[in-house]
Structure 1
């Protein structure tokens, strides 16, 4: 899963923001980033959403705002890739630059909420709760032009900026990985973790990628992430395990090994430590099962 830089600039050459209503048999399996913000509304399909180091299930109706240069990918479930599949994956994607309304526009006091929304977007923001009005406005945006289109988009941003129910997705450590930390850029380490978290990963493996000795790497990693490398890796694995639990397709023991753990007792211990629930309790709580 190589990280790709996608060029969205051509779509913004004659417009302050672009709108694409994409409908395919499945979304492209490309782990990518770009300097533009991206607002995504899922209209059809399910699967796994990768935003930075966040790994979660996605469903119809979700709205996610992604900040500039934050790696992301929507990976549909296996059923969408079968040759005889008649399933469709559809999403509306809006791309825009941070200063699309001008260098100082979002510095006005009246724009404080939207400015805060943009700051949160560096982690990825998944909006929850009732999103029917936001979805309606986003769908209607395609049919507008000129001034009305721009004003409507600002209204959408303001609506989301004042929406109280949301979740930040990626960790501070992952976001910081795209900044130089001493002599190393931790971005390659995070990319390696995302690609290989199901397999055995050692401290020596990632230290080598960062061109550091294990002791120095551990020190830098903990300073940036406020947690050890092993704690971070376990959280990524548990995030993926939660996604599998929500799908209800596998047993807990199968999910244990599919998520990169090598024994069920350690899986249960780490799950409880990270989520404050056992896997069984997590299913009961989040799926409403008794």
Structure 2
């Protein structure tokens, strides 16, 4: 079985977990792993999915939970030029976050069993997916305390399902250290730790042991993107976290996230978020105020 690729998951500093949707094709649709727990709900297409050493068929309503560093992938049966606007909803959270929740709230003790089982992947019945779908959909846009309420509701539903089934075999063992020994995963780990610093593709090629041209091809194969847009994406996502915190101005955030000038920062932000940094912050502030007044 081929080595899985490392996926860099960015949970915003002002949020406890990440909820997002993506279509098909998409750059993360590949055999990959990450240290975060993941709840994955398919909303469109059919195809084949892999979790550890498990291989099965999926259709809309396929709901799976994976534990830290457990390799997984969903591949849809679609025409080569077909584009699906939304293929799945994804929730991701760190081990530190969920363990902190268990330490603070003994009422969540039931979640411990769910987390243990997720190390080999858990499949849930369609009826559970039907209950979870509106919660994940609302979580895409929820803010503030409403996000936490929905998250706990989600855990409560999943924890009470007795018909959940293990996916990977008991013999399968995740090997994150072995995965990270691969040249490209080693580079991606370095990028994750240093994406706000000055990075040069030629230097990363040396770190991987590949020639510059081979590195460029391999990097795109692993990430679905070329080097500069990938770095810009990580930096802009980090900028969004700093903007919603509201303590720093746009210029300060520009340089803290690794950009060398404000005009380029604004241009890349507009390209990726279809708005300016100032408008992004204002929209978030307005939405937060509306949510507080409605509470």
Residue 142 of structure 1: aligned partner = 140
**Pairing 1:116–2:113 present:** yes
* Superposition misfits of 4+ residues, deviation over 6 angstroms: 185-188
CA 135–117 in structure 1, closer or farther in 2 if over 3 Å, else same: same
Q: 1:114-146: CA deviations, max 9, x gaps? A: 111111110100101412222121212223111
**1:36 and 2:33 aligned:** no
Equivalent residue number for residue 100 of structure 1: 97
* Residue-by-residue CA offset, 1:99-123 (whole Å, 9 max, x unaligned): 3156363575421221111111101
CA pair 75-24 structure 1, distance change in 2 beyond 3 A: closer
Q: Which piece of structure 1 moves more, 23-32 or 91-100?
A: 23-32
Structure 2 residue aligned with 1:169: 167
Residue 37 to residue 179, structure 1, CA distance change in 2 (3 Å): closer
User: Over residues 209-258 of structure 1, what are the superposed CA-to-partner deviations in whole Å (9 max), with x where a residue is unaligned?
Assistant: xxxxxxxxxxxxxxxxxxxxxxxxxxxxxxxxxxxxxxxxxxxxxxxxxx
Quote the offset at 1:3 in angstroms: 1.4
Aligned length: 179
For residues 161-213 of structure 1, what are the alpha-carbon distances to aligned partners after superposition, in whole Å with 9 as ceiling and x for unaligned? 111221100112112x5289xxxx7999xxxxxxxxxxxxxxxxxxxxxxxxx
**Unpaired segments ≥5 residues, structure 2:** 182-295
User: If the length of structure 2 is used for normalisation, what is the TM-score?
Assistant: 0.55
Match of 1:239 in 2: none
Equivalent of residue 127 in structure 1, options 124, 129, 133? 124
1:43-82 alignment runs, 5 A limit: 43-77=43-77, 80-82=78-80
Q: Is the 8 A contact 1:27 1:89 kept in 2?
A: no
Cα distance in structure 2, aligned partners of 1:75 and 1:179: 22
Q: Which residue of 2 aligns with 1:14?
A: 14
Partner of 1:262: none
Q: TM-score, normalized by length of structure 1?
A: 0.55
